[in-house]
């Protein structure tokens, strides 16, 4: 019987799993909290733009907006009740890409998708797999095709 090689990078795998597990729990709490209040992080960038990330109605929305006045770097955290928020219309199982009525770019995705992704990331490092360069190139090509299709769908 052949001896199994020792697990390499064991502490790094444990740290990665713990970090992804904490992120998964944080996303679940944000998901539940998103039905009572709206949490928002706004980053003002130099010039006339700012980026806003908000969690509401079980989804995370990322938008790029134009500002009338030039600003310096500034981060603004905000939380508001759901009474002041309207329920957004989502497409494709909660995913939405494109421009809003005011010309703003909005990307929205459900929080459950992010939580499942974090859970998969925390367990993937423990799978006993080895891949060749050919497998890596095939997977990279497939990811590029899927991302290209997502951009094509978003523009049409």
Neighbours of 17 (CB within 10 A): 16
Instruction: Order across the sheet with 37-44: list the strands.
Output: 74-81, 37-44, 47-56, 59-71, 105-110, 96-99
pLDDT value of residue 19 = 92
The mean pLDDT value for 75-100 works out to 69
pLDDT at 102 > cutoff 60:
no
Given pLDDT bands bounded at 50, 70 and 90, which one contains residue 98?
low
Q: For residue range 125-141, what is the model confidence (pLDDT) as tens digits?
A: 887 777 788 888 999 99
Lowest mean pLDDT among 10-24, 60-74, 83-97, 106-120: 83-97
Q: What percent of the chain has pLDDT over 70?
A: 77
Neighbours of 87 (CB within 10 A): 8
């Amino acid at each position: 019987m052949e001896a199994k090689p020792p697990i390499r990078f064991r502490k790094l795998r444990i740290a990665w799993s713990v970090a992804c597990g904490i992120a998964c729990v944080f996303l679940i709490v944000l998901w539940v909290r998103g039905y009572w209040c709206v949490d928002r992080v706004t980053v003002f960038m130099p010039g006339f733009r700012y980026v806003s990330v908000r969690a509401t109605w079980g989804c995370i929305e990322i938008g790029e907006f134009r500002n009338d006045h030039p600003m310096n770097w500034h981060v603004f955290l905000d939380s508001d009740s759901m009474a002041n928020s309207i329920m957004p219309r989502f497409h494709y199982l909660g995913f939405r890409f494109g421009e809003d009525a005011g010309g703003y770019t909005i990307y929205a995705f459900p929080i459950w998708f992010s939580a499942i992704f974090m859970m998969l990331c925390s367990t993937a490092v423990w799978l006993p797999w080895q891949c060749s360069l050919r497998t890596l190139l095939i997977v990279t090509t497939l990811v590029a095709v899927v991302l290209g299709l997502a951009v094509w769908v978003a523009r049409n």
